[in-house]
Structure 1
Amino acid sequence: MALSLALILAQVAAQASPPPEPVVQAPEEEPRADTGRLAPADTGEIVVTARRRAETVQQVPIAMSVVGGTTLADTGAYNVNRLTQLQPTLQFYSTNPRNSAANIRGLGAPFGLTNDGIEQGVGIYVDGVYYSRIASATFDFTDTERIEILRGPQGTLYGKNTTAGAINITTRKPSFTPEARVELTTGNYDFIQAKASASGPIIGDTLAARISASVTSRRGTIRNTVLGGYANAQDNQSVRGQLLWKPAANLDVTLYGDYGHQNPDCCAQIYVRTGTTQRPLSRQYAALAGAFGYAAPSTDAFDRLTDLDTPLRARQELGGVSLVGNLDLGAATLTSVSAWRFWNWDPSNDRDFTGLPITTVSANPSQQRQWSQELRIASNGRRAVDYVAGLFYFHQTIDTQGLQVQGPAASRFLLNPTGANAANPAVLNGLTARNTIGFSNTSAAVFGKLTWHLTDALSIAPGLRVNYDKKTGDYVSVITTGTGALLNCSAASQAASSVTRDRCGVLAPQSYRPDFDDWNASGDVTIAYDVARDVHAYATYARSYKSGGINLSGLPLDANNNPILAAAQVKPERVNHYELGLKTQWLDRRVTANLAAFWTDIADYQATVTNGQLGVLRGYLANAEAVRTRGIELDTAFRPTERLNLYANAAYTDAKYVRFTDAPCPPELSGGTAPATGQQTSPAGTPGGVSPSACDVSGQRLPGISKWAFSYGAEYTLPAKLGDTDGNAYLGFDGSYRSRFSSNPSPSAYTYIDGYSIANFRLGYRADAGWNAFLWLRNAFDQNYYELLATQSGNTGLIVGQPGDPRTYGVTVSASF
């Protein structure tokens, strides 16, 4: 289809009249001031494509940040996770690539383990192609020209999956002038990273190619005292190729292809602390571990020791091909984006987080395929009415083969120790769940956005997107005992045998076929006013949707051990968003100060609910009635002299559950007996107490969000000569701070992560001849901090965490030819 379209475009181009003046394209090498550092005064502008056409960033009425390829290299921000240290409104949490979440302004994906039946609220786009799962975007940035981070709903132009924002990644394009780049980095923890790219013409000024590759390797930071080696390592390889065909002055067609492979020893979460739950003391962590004479290798997570007894693996393959065509029709440009992508996931986890054989296997290998086609037309230049309109189609399939196996320590940990079966390892040893999960997702949309210039200074830009979604799934969980016999959890079987009853209380078979389909419409309107040449104000209202979905991680069971089908569907999120913004530059554009204030209301917020049944370790999804986030963001930059660049970005985000009356309870209120009619529940942390069946967390903070977040930095350059080479010596600093935040879907006293700051330095020499060498020091003061905290399944009171990287240092050398 895409190739046929390209051929049709070529025929049209051959008959077209002489082309008009071309639309301004983004510069191939961005100004160095691209993370808030001011661009050089003689350029002063960064060109972006946030609204699907080329515009300068200061004139786009959207709260957004732009990070260029040079800054990515200088700061070591080579993936989305590291990008968070430069962008205070971006959050990224990951226990492994599949269980990752990118949030903007605190919204985007439910906090917790990934459920394939829903979509993220932050759209990831690479060269115009939508990446439907954040896991498929956990690649190293390779040959990147710039990254645009758009904050707030972008549903009109980017789709229903962007209620929180979008990350728009643009790679460097093929060049008709031969060029090459190489970058080599080495550091402690055996860190090695190599990147290279080359581009040039193949046939005159008609066909050009670009190829780039990246390799990253690093020893893990957490030593395993049982299996040996180090966990949380890095082992990534990728290659990307492009062919640019320009058969006519008004037509270009680019073929993209990429492949990535990752196979690190990852990802470990280790002992942090214990907290008292409402389980009887004999069923809490200290007593259970003591029954085995077990002790963690360290009770200080920053000793970075673990004894996980299941080998860790986070192997994935990802890649795809796409074809992008642009035909300049004079008054407008027609664009086609056709893409196919794949993602194969092969993990191994230790989900009991200890060196005891409780859950010996926990893995959900999956294979994803996606196809997408977008066709849009956008007006060229500035007219009385500018426009973008288009059609979009998307289809995705995911096949998952889940496997969970209980070990000989499971009976003691998971069964009531006062019962006869807890002391018998054979009751749960070898109990196995094999989960076969299928998922199909089809979406189609028509969209359009107008910009009506009422005067030279005043414009109004309404937009509308109508979308259709259809999701179908299939979930089958088959349970076998240690002898290989099928487990029958009928009421009669459980009544006849306490062994069967206890097994069914841990893992129970279930089968269901959920589905969802719906139409929705997203719209927005922005009023923009140019107060002065470099002072731009805007106001936006957006009505946006995040598609509904289906639960594909198992459902809670009723009294007869049948899945509760009412929980199979998840309602769409409905978003009302209000924003005011002011973009300014002063003193001949040496000072930039951009301010945005927002208020976002979400109805039927998609939240993770912890299942009280032990067998559904992953929890499931439900809807919180209402959520609200509001805040103020300030991005500033100052270049007082030609030698000094300064930047400081700040974000205040107040995000809370407005109404969530049947939320999962935090661990300190869980694990006790169910209340009888009219019975009072026990205070938090009462062993053997009475636990509420659900908790009202209305008014409490959303997880993963710091109220205050900052990024700041400076670079000072000094002209210097190295032998016969002219250039500049420089000293750079980048810092970030995030205040305290909750690491549990329902705020818990045990899982708050204290605020922390990170400081990074670099010292180097940048030669006019095109090469650069610098020493770098990251987390310079060796700050101890957690990326996230979690609780052990079964509510034993064990809290585990993922320590952030310690101090690292090394050297980077790069050159352009």
Structure 2
Amino acid sequence: MEQHFSLRRLPILLPFSALASLSPLAMAADTVTELPSISVSSEKIERPLEKVAASIAVVDGQDIDEQGLDSLEQLEGRVPGLSFQPFGQSGVNSPVMRGLTANFNSMSTSTLLLVDGVPTLTAQGYENGLLDIERIEVMRGPQSTLYGRNAETGVIALYSRPMDNQPRARVSAEVGSRNKHGVSFAVAQPLIDDTLFASASGSWSEQDGFIDNTVSGHKEDTRKRNNLNLGLRWTPSEKTDLVLRYARQQYDDGASLWGAPTAKRETVASGTDSYNQSRGQSLSLNASQELAPDLYLRSISAYNAFDDDVQQDTDFNPADLLYIARDHQLRMFSQELRLEGKLGAADWLAGVYLDRSDNDLHTTSKTVMQLNQLYADQQSTTQALFSHWTIPLNDAWSIQAGARVEHTKVEFQPRGGASRSLNDTHFSPKLALQYQIDADHQWYFSASRGVRTSGFNLLSPGLNYAAFEPEKVWSYETGLKGWFADRRVRYSLAGYYMDIDDMQVTQMPTPGTLYITSAATATSRGIELDLDYMLGHGWQLKTGVAWNRTRFATFRDGSANYDGQHNPFAPDYTGHLDLRYDAPAGWYGQASLVGSSKVYLDAANSYLRGGYAQVNLLAGYRLQNWELAAYANNLTEQRYDAVGYQNGFVTVYSPPREFGLRLTWNR
């Protein structure tokens, strides 16, 4: 039986639960220490979290390690306002931020992924094993001024732990439900003190599936994957810093988490082999040179490659009647070069960005009548100039101003068809006003423009691969952030309104027919709250909630009128509530509630994924260099299947409850 959870009361309950904890008894805990300061690099210049005029959530590397997070999809709910389209395939994610998202076949995303400064521009390869990560910064709201066309509604930025004179090592082994077993490691070592440093991290894991295939007699959705990261840092002088990184991810999975809406849950009768044998890798060089006091030249050169190799049964019957397959080879080179420095009391930066993508696309669609093969090449180039300034006006007031001019050209060549091209030039400004109310509290207001690139309908030869327009957003945001209770409470509260033009919406009128139209306009408004409270005596509370309302203002597609409907895949509410206790004797425990309201799967709002509230438990014990932890995820077995994905054709199953043990050695 499906369980649906409404989060209508969550935005009321979470703030009040946090405020209730600010009681005189809790405040009297004289053993409380203040929360640590957090610095972020969301503006490409490191600043304290409380000094940035934007809504930013930070996930600490220690939390990632202890909770065993190994996928970006696990950030849903843990970062209020961030979710992902239900898809069920490893290595592919399409994020949803502030009510906006992009289709997997658009070759773009609405929220940019950065890993140590290296961008990922497609849903394919939008993943990370979260190994040896120092922190994750999630910047909510348009960031196109600094990051370009794929940062329309935000950025997820991952930062690896630094390579320096401090050696470290970590090895972890895990066993869990459905025969899960895996190992991971992370090591860093100075090779020459103060000059040459190296790091390596990797993981390997396997797990049986939970979807029964009555034809083969096996589980259909087994999971196998491995990750490898290598790093080398060279500092030949105090003024020069070079970091070379290589990363690889590889999957050897069974089927996606798909089934027929009319079949018994978690059961298929597939006679067609389904698999995911995708793999990706990246190579990057991050260089910094001090040219003069307070003047730096920085360069990030990167090469990204992802092979999307998938076959998936779509009728779930013994006969080999219907299936889809992809064999995409995606390649991209990117280069950013920027100057940054100080001019009096002002911080500034100016830079140039270039990228070139070369995608070899092969899509297969098997129907009862025929086998359709689509071959195409897509190439794109981007050139951009950008600048950003932070200027203090006096002791309390300051302004931030920035702008980006970006030109993108996309060329599309279907096999057997005529070549087509698009040229877009975007101007993305940002202006923010900050007021330091006192030493612990700040107010800000910002106006910014976000852009998502145009493209071609890669799966619509019947429409002559019609083009869709760039999606454009004007966003207005105001917020408060700071500290309370002698820095034992950190808070951030933001409200925003977004006006969206040429909104890209995916339509699937019949199975196998999919196209993206840019005929809609919409508005998005919302509130985001993050709160971290050191209660004392070993107790800590973390909570956050986001409310978003994204609706079509006007959207007509043929004779259909979708005015006032929900944008697909956009939840109205997301949030989390974490309570943790660390005992002096070395053991700890944590209880977490992570939730999302329902999301609709189509523009007509005919199909939906139900809302959910997951309970996750964690307990562990540390003894010298060793740590043993036990976990239970989705303790109450919440089910939130996406019933009717792809216009009623497919159900995407939600993962079941999971238990496990981790043994870790740290040095």
How does the TM-score come out when normalised to structure 2? Answer: 0.92
The answer to whether the 8 Å contact 1:224/1:307 transfers is yes
The answer to whether the 8 Å contact 1:656/1:700 transfers is yes
Q: Which residue of 2 aligns with 1:475?
A: 414
Q: Which residue of 2 aligns with 1:416?
A: none
**Cα distance in 2 for residues equivalent to 1:527 and 1:701:** 32
What does the per-residue CA deviation read over 1:551-602, in whole Å, with 9 as the maximum and x for residues that have no partner?
2112435xxxxx3xxx621111121100001002101111122100000111
Q: Which residue of 2 aligns with 1:776?
A: 631
What does the per-residue CA deviation read over 1:326-345, in whole Å, with 9 as the maximum and x for residues that have no partner?
11232122110001111112
**Cα distance in 1 for residues equivalent to 2:644 and 2:89:** 14
Q: Which residue of 1 aligns with 2:334?
A: 372
Pick the aligned partner of 2:504 from 587, 606, 609. Answer: 606
Q: Which residue of 2 aligns with 1:324?
A: 286
Pick the aligned partner of 1:385 from 338, 346, 349. Answer: 346
**Cα distance in 2 for residues equivalent to 1:449 and 1:800:** 46
97 and 554 in structure 1: CA distance in 2 versus 1, 3 angstrom threshold: farther
Q: Which residue of 2 aligns with 1:313?
A: 275
- Find out whether 1:262 has 2:254 as its counterpart: no
Name whichever structure is richer in strand by fraction: 2
Amino acid paired to 2:60: G
Give the secondary-structure state (helix, strand or coil) at the position aligned to 1:74.
helix
- Find out whether 1:761 has 2:617 as its counterpart: yes
Task: Specify every segment of 5 or more residues in structure 1 that has no aligned partner in the other structure, as ranges.
Answer: 1-39, 274-295, 411-427, 478-510, 558-562, 663-692, 721-727, 793-797
Amino acid paired to 1:364: R
The answer to whether the 8 Å contact 1:160/1:522 transfers is no
What does the per-residue CA deviation read over 1:657-678, in whole Å, with 9 as the maximum and x for residues that have no partner?
111012xxxxxxxxxxxxxxxx
Pick the aligned partner of 2:130 from 141, 145, 161. Answer: 141
The answer to whether the 8 Å contact 1:514/1:568 transfers is no
- Find out whether 1:240 has 2:259 as its counterpart: no
Q: State the Cα distance separating 1:771 from its structure 2 match.
A: 3.0
Q: Which residue of 2 aligns with 1:351?
A: 314
Q: Which residue of 2 aligns with 1:504?
A: none
Q: State the Cα distance separating 1:388 from its structure 2 match.
A: 1.6
Pick the aligned partner of 2:443 from 534, 537, 542. Answer: 537
The answer to whether the 8 Å contact 1:576/1:602 transfers is yes
**Cα distance in 1 for residues equivalent to 2:559 and 2:67:** 45
Amino acid paired to 1:761: L
How does the TM-score come out when normalised to structure 1? Answer: 0.75
- Find out whether 1:451 has 2:390 as its counterpart: yes
Correspondence list, 1:462-501, <5 A: 462-476=401-415
Give the secondary-structure state (helix, strand or coil) at the position aligned to 1:265.
coil
**Cα distance in 2 for residues equivalent to 1:592 and 1:546:** 33
Q: Share of identical aligned residues, percent?
A: 26
**Cα distance in 2 for residues equivalent to 1:432 and 1:469:** 34
**Cα distance in 2 for residues equivalent to 1:788 and 1:74:** 33
Q: State the Cα distance separating 1:43 from its structure 2 match.
A: 6.0
Amino acid paired to 2:596: R
383 and 536 in structure 1: CA distance in 2 versus 1, 3 angstrom threshold: farther
Correspondence list, 1:295-306, <5 A: 296=263, 298=264, 301=265, 304-306=266-268
Pick the aligned partner of 2:601 from 740, 743, 750. Answer: 743
512 and 309 in structure 1: CA distance in 2 versus 1, 3 angstrom threshold: farther
The answer to whether the 8 Å contact 2:285/2:302 transfers is yes
Q: Which residue of 2 aligns with 1:189?
A: 178
The answer to whether the 8 Å contact 2:508/2:646 transfers is no
Q: State the Cα distance separating 1:462 from its structure 2 match.
A: 0.8
Q: Which residue of 1 aligns with 2:522?
A: 627
Q: Which residue of 1 aligns with 2:13?
A: none
CA RMSD of superposed structures (Å): 1.9
Pick the aligned partner of 2:608 from 752, 758, 761. Answer: 752
Q: Which residue of 2 aligns with 1:442?
A: 381
Q: State the Cα distance separating 1:627 from its structure 2 match.
A: 1.2
Q: State the Cα distance separating 1:121 from its structure 2 match.
A: 1.3
**Cα distance in 1 for residues equivalent to 2:317 and 2:420:** 35
Q: State the Cα distance separating 1:223 from its structure 2 match.
A: 1.3
- Find out whether 1:696 has 2:561 as its counterpart: yes
- Find out whether 1:62 has 2:51 as its counterpart: no
Q: Greater shift after overlay, 325-334 or 522-531?
A: 325-334
**Cα distance in 1 for residues equivalent to 2:313 and 2:305:** 26
Give the secondary-structure state (helix, strand or coil) at the position aligned to 2:278.
strand
The answer to whether the 8 Å contact 2:94/2:126 transfers is no
Q: State the Cα distance separating 1:98 from its structure 2 match.
A: 6.8
Q: Which residue of 2 aligns with 1:717?
A: 582
Correspondence list, 1:72-221, <5 A: 72-93=64-85, 94-97=87-90, 100-110=93-103, 114-116=104-106, 118-221=107-210
**Cα distance in 2 for residues equivalent to 1:444 and 1:209:** 33
Give the secondary-structure state (helix, strand or coil) at the position aligned to 2:639.
coil
Amino acid paired to 1:225: T
Pick the aligned partner of 1:402 from 343, 363, 372. Answer: 363
**Cα distance in 1 for residues equivalent to 2:559 and 2:645:** 19
Q: State the Cα distance separating 1:466 from its structure 2 match.
A: 0.3
718 and 100 in structure 1: CA distance in 2 versus 1, 3 angstrom threshold: closer
Q: State the Cα distance separating 1:193 from its structure 2 match.
A: 2.7
- Find out whether 1:253 has 2:235 as its counterpart: no
Q: Which residue of 1 aligns with 2:371?
A: 432
787 and 232 in structure 1: CA distance in 2 versus 1, 3 angstrom threshold: farther
What does the per-residue CA deviation read over 1:172-194, in whole Å, with 9 as the maximum and x for residues that have no partner?
12232322111222111111232
**Cα distance in 2 for residues equivalent to 1:103 and 1:813:** 34
The answer to whether the 8 Å contact 1:790/1:799 transfers is yes
Q: State the Cα distance separating 1:138 from its structure 2 match.
A: 2.2
Give the secondary-structure state (helix, strand or coil) at the position aligned to 1:556.
helix
The answer to whether the 8 Å contact 1:52/1:378 transfers is no
The answer to whether the 8 Å contact 1:214/1:239 transfers is yes
**Cα distance in 1 for residues equivalent to 2:396 and 2:190:** 43
The answer to whether the 8 Å contact 1:211/1:241 transfers is yes
The answer to whether the 8 Å contact 1:515/1:569 transfers is no
**Cα distance in 1 for residues equivalent to 2:627 and 2:257:** 36
378 and 176 in structure 1: CA distance in 2 versus 1, 3 angstrom threshold: same
Q: Which residue of 2 aligns with 1:816?
A: 666
Give the secondary-structure state (helix, strand or coil) at the position aligned to 1:772.
strand
The answer to whether the 8 Å contact 1:575/1:602 transfers is yes
Segments of 4+ moved more than 6 angstroms: none
Amino acid paired to 1:91: S
**Cα distance in 2 for residues equivalent to 1:174 and 1:570:** 44
What does the per-residue CA deviation read over 1:411-448, in whole Å, with 9 as the maximum and x for residues that have no partner?
xxxxxxxxxxxxxxxxx2xx222211110010010000
Amino acid paired to 1:811: L
Give the secondary-structure state (helix, strand or coil) at the position aligned to 1:403.
strand
Q: State the Cα distance separating 1:544 from its structure 2 match.
A: 2.4
The answer to whether the 8 Å contact 2:257/2:653 transfers is no
The answer to whether the 8 Å contact 1:232/1:264 transfers is yes
Give the secondary-structure state (helix, strand or coil) at the position aligned to 1:651.
strand
Q: State the Cα distance separating 1:778 from its structure 2 match.
A: 0.6
Task: Specify every segment of 5 or more residues in structure 2 that has no aligned partner in the other structure, as ranges.
Answer: 1-31
Q: State the Cα distance separating 1:356 from its structure 2 match.
A: 4.2
Amino acid paired to 1:78: D
815 and 694 in structure 1: CA distance in 2 versus 1, 3 angstrom threshold: farther
Q: State the Cα distance separating 1:814 from its structure 2 match.
A: 1.8
The answer to whether the 8 Å contact 2:358/2:379 transfers is yes
Amino acid paired to 1:115: N
Pick the aligned partner of 1:647 from 539, 542, 545. Answer: 542
**Cα distance in 1 for residues equivalent to 2:599 and 2:248:** 36
Amino acid paired to 1:52: K
Give the secondary-structure state (helix, strand or coil) at the position aligned to 2:583.
strand
**Cα distance in 2 for residues equivalent to 1:91 and 1:84:** 5
What does the per-residue CA deviation read over 1:730-752, in whole Å, with 9 as the maximum and x for residues that have no partner?
1101111212221223211xx12
Aligned residue-pair number: 635
**Cα distance in 2 for residues equivalent to 1:765 and 1:701:** 46
**Cα distance in 2 for residues equivalent to 1:736 and 1:212:** 29
Amino acid paired to 1:132: L
Q: State the Cα distance separating 1:799 from its structure 2 match.
A: 4.8
- Find out whether 1:552 has 2:552 as its counterpart: no
Amino acid paired to 2:122: R
743 and 192 in structure 1: CA distance in 2 versus 1, 3 angstrom threshold: same
